[in-house]
Every structure is written in C-alpha cells, then in structure tokens.
Amino acid sequence: MFYLKEFFKSIGESPIRGLSFLLCSCLLAISLTHRPWIAKTIEKVTPEKMVNPYFVAVVDGSVDAERIKGVLAKLPGVLAIDDKESDRSRSKLNKLVGQLGSDYSLDANLMDFKSLRIIMSPSLSTESLDFVRSQVVKMGGSEHVSATEVKYPEVTTVMKSHPFYGFLSKAGDWGVVGILAFIWMITYWLCYDVFRSRSYIIEKFQRKKLVAAKSIATGLGIVFALFTAIGIWNGTLKFFDSVILLMIFSVFWTFSMQDWRWKPTL
C-alpha cells in the first residue's frame, strides 16, 4: 500500500506529465488486451465503411419508376432513393442538343426517362449491394433499365490517399499498438525524474530500498492486472498479447532499479 501511495504521489507532483503517463499506460494496456476489438474498430473506420455507397439506375418511360421505388424502399439496407437526378440529366441533354444546332433534335421518347440514385448502407456486404442493383434491373428488364456499378462518394478516394488511412490499412491493429507504445515511452521518460527525485528523498530519510522501482512496479502492475482481467472477462485477451504488454512494462521498469542521485524535479 505504501508504494501504491508513492506512485500516485509522484504522479501528483507533476499532474500533467503524471496523468499523461497513467492514461497512456491504460490505453496501451487496453489496446493489447482488447486487440481483436481494435481490429474490428479499424475495419469500421475504413473509407468504404464511413460513406454511403450508391448506384444510378436509368429507366425509360415504359417502366413504372414509382413501383420500383416502392419495392426498393422495403429492401433492408436501402437508405434513400433520389430521383432529382432526372431533371438535371434532362437539362444537360437539352443543353447538349442546343450546342449541336437547331437542325439537331431528339425524339421525345428518348427524353422520357427517370434517373434514380439509390443510396445504401455501408454495412451491407458487396454481395448485398450487387443484389439490390440486380433487383432494379430485374424489375424493369435489361431492355428498359440500365444501372451503373456500385460507387462510393468522391470523399472515399480522398480518404484512401491520406497517409493515415494508408498506414492503418497496412499496419492494422498492430499499428495502433505501436503508436500507443511509442507515446507511452515518451510519457514514461517525462515522469522519470519525478519518481527519481522522490525516491532519493525517501531512501535517504526513511531507509527504504528501490522506492522508485517498487512504486512504478506497483502502479503498472495494477494497470496490467486490471486490464488483463477485463480482457479475460470480455473474451478478447490473447496470451501472446499479455506477454508483450508485460515485456514493455518490465523493460522500462528495470531502468528504475538503481541507486538514485539527487536531481531536481524539472
């Protein structure tokens, strides 16, 4: 209990650095004891999972577009059906015909069409997305309905080109663990002098040995035990991951096992 109090007293002497060290220790522990959950979370934040996929179906005048809209609206995963594209498409065609000259005209039947933009949920699988698209073509017939391939908004391309998403796609959950481990090491060294200074005072005046080492070991040991227990409870803990967490904590903890000399707290 004495060393646990010393652990929190050392953190309290420099709250910003101390709390950062404690928070990063918890984040590193949860990332390794809940790595499968981290992997699932990364999968959900990929560009394709953060935007709504869609396709555009063009139906001619012989097809009841309202009936198609009604059937599609009942399909699971279909979020919205937008037919505003029809007016825009007609406007573009009329503008194009106007540029071709007064001698050129389009048959009225060709202008009798509707463009339906079907927006779907990103949680749907590729097979489900293609199924919705095929249903549209099937209802109207391939002679009267044409549909684009399933697309994603342009933001997907921008996100994919961002280095952060490139790193996540390659490194995955281990990339997150590596980042947190690096940040934890920085916060550890920022708190190093605080533990060292308190250790010197207590060892000189209370005749105790390795106060800093025992204080750090107690604090990190509780963090390790707590998140290991939570990982076992949630079923996400893997033995190999717990060994890595223990190794990271232990390797840097060994630096505190030495005789301290006075150095003022920064």
* pLDDT tens digits, 74-111: 888 888 888 776 566 656 655 655 655 656 555 555 55
The residue among 156, 133, 160 whose CA lies nearest residue 68 is 133
Tally of residues, the chain: 266
Q: Quick check: helix, strand or coil at residue 81?
A: strand
* pLDDT tens digits, 166-200: 777 777 788 888 889 999 888 888 887 777 776 76
Q: What are φ and ψ of residue 238, in 5° steps?
A: -115, 140
- Amino acid identity of residue 236, one-letter, is T
Specify whether the CB–CB gap between 45 and 59 falls below 8 A.
no
Predicted structure pTM score: 0.57
The angle subtended at Cα 26 by Cα 21 and Cα 31, nearest 5°, is 125
Listing from the earlier edge strand, what are the strands of the sheet with 78-82?
78-82, 113-120, 54-60, 145-147
The residue among 230, 219, 226 whose CA lies nearest residue 252 is 219
What's the whole-number mean pLDDT along residues 150-162?
A: 70
Domains of the chain (ranges plus CATH)? 2-44+161-256 (no CATH), 52-151 (3.30.70.260)
What's the whole-number mean pLDDT along residues 60-73?
A: 79
The residue among 219, 224, 226 whose CA lies nearest residue 191 is 219
DSSP type of residue 82 = E
